[in-house]
Amino acid sequence: MFVTVYSAKCIGIEAVGVSVETHVDLGIGIHLVGLADVAVKESLLRTMTALVTLGYRIPGKRIVINMAPADLRKNGSLYDVPIAVSIVAATGQMELPNIEKYLILGELGLDGSIRAIPGALPCTEFAKRNGFEGIILPEESALEAVDFKDFNVFGVASLKDVLSILAGDDMLSDYLIWNSRAYRVKRRAAVRETETELQVDFSDIIGQEGAKRGLEIAAAGGHNVLLVGAPGSGKSSLAKALPGIMPPLTSEEALVTSKIFSVSGKPGSSFGLMRKRPFRAPHCSATLSALVGGGSGDSIVPGEVSLANGGVLFLDEFGQMPKSVIEALRAPLEDREVTISRLRGNVTFPASFMLVAASNPCPCGYWGEADRCKCTPSQRLNYLSKLSGPLLDRIDVHCWMHCVPPDTIARYRQSGKTGIETSEMVAARVLKARIAQKHRFASDSISVNAEMGNRQIEKYCQLSTQCRETLSSIMESRKLSMRAYFRIIKVARTIADLAGSPDIMPVHIIEASGFRILDGPEPVE
């Protein structure tokens, strides 16, 4: 008897179809073919044991299991359930009329229970796009796909549940994930998490008004940020506060980012699509593979630059990171994606994130803090030279932060935050500026000012005579490069958007130039 069960696998953040074909005939032995890796071959023993545990028999015949297409490498444990279902159907132990209607994935336990698998979200999208009536997933994995309201997503806890669905159980709707107890529990937990979510607010950060303004501009225009300051000046706190002033995730951003987390095996949300922008903060000792992604063959997982898609990638102690790791950021910052090449092919992951890099100004960390710095001038310049070059070309906003004086802290405590802007207030201005950019770039392939190339700058950033004279004067006095010239214009355009101005004014140029502290022959504090 011959039976086909449909499954899938993920390559990057997209799923492709995999057919599990099982044939039972006279002979001896169980044979698995179709370029399966060790984990898939081990599934035979798990599957056979689970079937015996549940009371099914393994006939003394030849069973050939082919996983098609044969030239696509199969990896992982997600094919356990499709293989088990195909054996039950092919050996005639149960009538399963709905076997070709659903996409099936899941890992089997020896007792017949089904465990979670990575990539549930891309596979659900694939099943819907390719005309399946629904998808059968482990209950925990199915919770990732609860936002597919117009598609049948079944969450199952055991192989018996799967067989009941395929047999056409009268109570089929009971297995839909929205009718499960796990759904109700997770939904309540998600609501409570949203209500009690702890996040650094702008009003919690004492002083640092210049850096706060820099982050507001960065969030409004999608600009990358460099924070330079002494230890304890608030660099980490400001970076953690940044997601709170960014606009909410769009539907498209939420889907793409959730798919990245899904294939990584660590969903960003335990319930549906991600609702908040991701904040990733890898340690400065992170390897190249950890940052950009890696793996073997086509079993490649995303790195931190992709997990930060739609959100913030915070790299503290930026100057301490290996040069190879820092240089690896150049491509994703420019292309908004990262391509990982292996012998068997390439995998591309989205990597559209805001970079917030933080660094001390010198080896001891206290340059600019009165007389606390013990470094020589050459040590200071050598330390900051690590931040120069092509990577600095892709960072629009530089902020130099000083430690907050004690009297400022005292006034802050006495005021009780009176008159201090909250993240909500700043976020409202940022959202207004983003809406203006959305309308501006409606006919372009970009969405924020930071993504403008020279052609868009010429089109959307016309400078008046006074603005050109102001910019020329700044360029001359500070000996700035053409790199800085275009960066200043882009940041000025964002400042104008925040001010609601249709045109760039000289005051916007002056403010934008103040965020280029590392340009020129000498850093500007």
Backbone angles phi, psi at 167, to 5 degrees: -80, -10
Q: Is the pLDDT of residue 306 over 50?
A: yes
CA dist., res. 516 & res. 525, Å (int): 10
Question: What's the pLDDT at 135?
Answer: 97
User: What's the token pair of residue 84?
Assistant: 């088990």
Closest to 396 measured CA to CA, from 219, 202, 207, 208: 219
Quick one: pLDDT band at residue 78, thresholds 50, 70, 90? very high
End-to-end CA distance of the chain: 78
Which CATH code is given to the segment(s) 2-187?
3.30.230.10
Q: Is the pLDDT of residue 515 over 70?
A: yes
- CA distances for 440 relative to 366, 490, 500, 502, angstroms: 43, 14, 13, 11
**Burial annotation 477-491 (CB, 10 A radius, 16+ → b, else e):** eeebeeebbbbbbbb
Residues 450-467: tens digit of each pLDDT: 999 888 999 999 999 999
Quick one: pLDDT band at residue 195, thresholds 50, 70, 90? very low
Which CATH code is given to the segment(s) 202-426?
3.40.50.300
* Rounded average pLDDT over 193-215: 78
Question: What's the pLDDT at 298?
Answer: 63
Quick one: pLDDT band at residue 123, thresholds 50, 70, 90? very high
Quick one: pLDDT band at residue 436, thresholds 50, 70, 90? very high
Q: Domain map of the chain by residue range?
A: 2-187, 202-426, 452-525
Q: What is the mean pLDDT of the chain?
A: 88
